[in-house]
Structure 1
Amino acid sequence: MRFFAFALTLILLSTTARGADIYVDNVRGDDRNLGNSAAFSEGENGPIASIAKALRIARKGDNVILTNTGVPYRESITLQGGNNSGWEFAPLTIEGNGAILDGRAPIPVDGWKHVQGDVYCFAPTYKTYHQLYLDDRPAKRVEVEDMSQLDTLKPLEWCLTDGMIFFRTEKDRGPGCYRLSYTARRTGITLYEVRNVKILDLTVQGFQLDGINVHSNCYKIELGAITSRGNGRSGVSVGGASRATISKSLLGDNGAAQLRGEGFSKTTVIDSTLLENTAPATFRDDAKITIDGQEVTDAPAAETAQALRLFPQPDAPASPLRR
């Protein structure tokens, strides 16, 4: 009898703990809705408009399901504490369905100031890292030590110096002739003191620091089929004593490192690609990083690999993770 009572308790616990589905649609959703249905015709039961609102009402083990509307979700989100955690048998899940989380903002024409010749500057709020986008892909960045070297910039190249973005236009053209955007939001997804969380099938791009930051005291975090690209510092950063697994994912075109580890964190990478095209594949500060069973011992030097880009030219094939 004790055995059957114990088994029944486990069954009831697993049934009640299994999370609800919360649907998000950034085109047809409304944050006044309950998110119980993906169909906007369901009235107040229809989808929510923002991921942030979904996480505010989420409970332990819930599933946040994004609709891939073709329009990027332009927000920064944070998962923190018990309500944004899951159970070992029922993790809290963000199912991206191939959607894009984008941290960029357009640079207004009057935000540019003329410096010299064809060189213009823009002063962002945050003064470090960053990416400058030209026509929805990172523009070519060059290293410039100080403003005395600005004349070394070639047309359509940029640099970050003294906390400002400098961009050289083509001859007789101003910055208003181009579609220029920059990494305005700080971090795409921040995880803090959560456990048993899965983030699946999502592209995170255009954030000033990290696409995904597994900040501290996070355990059993799984990032699956993630593309994290074009962020100012790293695609994924894992810190503190956190434990994270990255599988079937693609990191590249990030500013300082594709994958960053610090503190006593441990990151396991499985069947994933870390492109050394703009920065080293990994950066470690006392952290442990294992890639396909091999522990990373030294952070490799950055290599220039112009053949592989996460933002392909129109005639180039799409990213290998874009299905």
Structure 2
Amino acid sequence: MRKVLILMFVVVLGSGDGYGRDLYVNNLTGDDQSTGETDQNISNHVGPVRSIKRAVALANFGDRIVLANTGVPYREQVSLQGARNSGSARFPFVLEGNGAELDGTADISPELWKPGGVGLIRFQPPRISFQQLFLADQPLPEFSLADATMKEMPAGSWCMFNQSIYYRPQSDIALFDHDLSVSVRRVGVTLYNVRHVVVSNLVIRGFQYDGVNAHDNAFDCRFDGLTCRWNGRSGVSVGGASRVKVVNCMLENNDVVQLRTEGWSRVIVEGTKMIGDRSWKMDGGSLKIDGEDHQREETVANRDSAPLNRP
């Protein structure tokens, strides 16, 4: 009898006939001790949660996580994984951003900077690969040492050397007035072993690797209305056997490439703008952009020497 009941539960779960609940997140007024089932604080522990991580932990099959756009970035990274973070074709699991910002950076305390030579200061970031430096939440230009020396690096730019960031401050701004930050979180939203997931209306910026990474076995997933900018490797990365649609997104000025594919993935892109030095890079998989099939490139010249899609 017990085996029959378990089998019935599995069949109902997989049928997709039911729908989940809404879970609300507010990074100003929320409390991770709350239920997350209302968007306003009604009574003790009845109201929104404070972090996306807590909402994901509370979520079940077919639920919808709804972020409040408070004007203050959510400084965390999100991982959606397994059946509890999946949905059905009729009732997908949804992460709805409402235009909120997911930020992968953290401020650098002025005391962490050390002298780096004449007119230079240096800082050793917690992670090295695909690093970026920001001033007042805007990316600073990276100076290439391929055919030049640090003596030639102009003010307001930076370079990576011997596992440290070297920065030449602008002469008219005191060091302690430089609002500098660095990428400290690896990926904005990671999908692994999920089905029927929608991630929509989020601004994802400043992550070390990718804005969104469908790592593997992310089937029938959709990225809708995302803005992925200023991430260290790509705006969207799809790998393994994942099947993803990228719809009405803006992928702009991500450092290596805007969209990347690998493995046996299948990616369909519709109505999406890709702005930057390189629009897409294929290391495997199939890619269709606005109805046009694209083939894997035989040679690619960029700095991506790290193991692919292993953030």
Coarse TM-score class (shorter-chain normalised): 0.7 to 0.9
SS in 2 for 1:121: strand
- Do 1:120 and 1:168's aligned partners in 2 also have CA atoms closer than 8 Å? yes
Cα deviation, residue 127, structure 1: 1.1
Q: Secondary structure at the match of 2:149?
A: helix
User: Are residues 1:154 and 2:154 paired?
Assistant: yes
Q: What is the TM-score of this pair, normalised by structure 1?
A: 0.84
Q: Give the structure 2 partner of residue 105 of structure 1.
A: 106
Q: CA deviation digits over 1:136-163, x for unaligned, max 9?
A: 11111222239x7111210001122332
Q: Hey, what's the Cα distance between the residues in 2 that align with 1:220 and 1:162? A: 43
**Which letter does structure 2 place at the counterpart of 1:213?**
N
The answer to whether 1:212 aligns with 2:202 is no
Whole-Å separation in 2 of the counterparts to 1:152 and 1:288: 43
Where does structure 1 lack aligned partners over 5 or more consecutive residues? 1-8, 303-323
* Number of equivalences: 289
Structure-to-structure mapping, 1:49-128, within 5 angstroms: 49-128=50-129
Q: Deviations over 1:50-83 (max 9, x none)?
A: 1111111100000001111111111111000000
Match of 1:168 in 2: 168
Query: 1:280 matched to which residue of 2?
Result: 278
Give the aligned partner of residue 294 of structure 2: 296
Kept in 2: contact 1:210–1:233 (CA 8 A): yes
% same residue: 37
Residue-by-residue CA offset, 1:24-66 (whole Å, 9 max, x unaligned): 1110000111111001134322101111111111000000011
Task: Give the distance between the partners of 1:136 and 1:273, measured in 2 at CA.
Answer: 22
> One-letter code of the match for 2:168?
R
Q: Which residue of 1 aligns with 2:140?
A: 139
- What is the CA RMSD across the aligned residues, in angstroms? 2.1
Instruction: Report how far residue 170 of structure 1 moved.
Output: 2.4
Q: Which whole-Å CA distance do the structure 2 matches of 1:14 and 1:188 have between them?
A: 28
CA positional deviation for 1:175? 3.3
- 8 Å contact from structure 1 (residues 112, 175) kept in 2: no
Structure 2 CA distance for partners of 1:14 and 1:80, relative to 1, 3 Å: closer
8 Å CA contact retained: 1:118, 1:170 = no
Query: Is residue 26 of structure 2 the alignment partner of residue 28 of structure 1?
Result: no
Q: Secondary structure at the match of 1:287?
A: strand
Partner residue of 1:267?
267
After superposition, residues 171-186 of structure 1 pair within 5 angstroms as: 171=171, 175-186=175-186
CA separation in 2, counterparts of 1:126 and 1:22?
33
Provide the secondary structure at the position in 2 that maps to 1:54: helix
Does structure 1 residue 196 correspond to structure 2 residue 196? yes
Normalising to structure 2: TM-score of the pair?
0.88
Corresponding residue SS for 1:53: helix
One-letter code aligned to 2:92: P
User: For residues 239-278 of structure 1, what are the structure 2 equivalents within 5 Å?
Assistant: 239-276=239-276
SS in 2 for 1:98: coil
Deviations 1:82-126 (A, max 9, x none): 000001110000110000011110011111111112111111111
Deviations 1:168-198, CA, capped at 9 Å, x for gaps: 1123755323111011111111111001000
Q: Mark the runs of 5 or more structure 2 residues left unpaired by the alignment.
A: 1-10, 302-311
Does structure 2 conserve the Cα–Cα contact (< 8 Å) formed by 1:118 and 1:172?
no
Distance verdict in 2 for CA 1:280–1:301, change over 3 Å: farther
C-alpha deviation, 1:298, in angstroms: 5.6
Deviates more, 1:291-300 or 1:82-91: 291-300
Q: Please tell me the residue identity of whatever aligns with 2:213.
A: N
Amino acid at match of 2:86: S
Q: Which amino acid aligns with 1:269?
A: V
Does the CA-based 8 Å contact 1:218-1:241 persist in structure 2?
A: yes
Paired residues of 2:16 and 2:87 also in contact (CA < 8 A):
no
Pair 144,175 (structure 1): closer, same or farther in 2 beyond 3 Å: farther
**Aligned residue for 2:47?**
46
> Using the alignment, how far apart are the partners of 1:68 and 1:210 within structure 2?
22
SS of alignment partner, residue 90 of structure 1: coil
SS in 2 for 1:83: helix
SS of alignment partner, residue 287 of structure 2 = strand
* 8 Å contact kept, 1:121–1:165: yes
Q: Distance between the aligned counterparts of 1:172 and 1:203, measured in 2?
A: 32
Contact map agreement 1:21 1:63 (CA 8 A) in 2: yes
> Corresponding residue for 1:305?
none
Asked if 1 retains the 8 angstrom alpha-carbon contact of 2:23 and 2:55, the reply is yes
Letter in 2 for 1:271: G
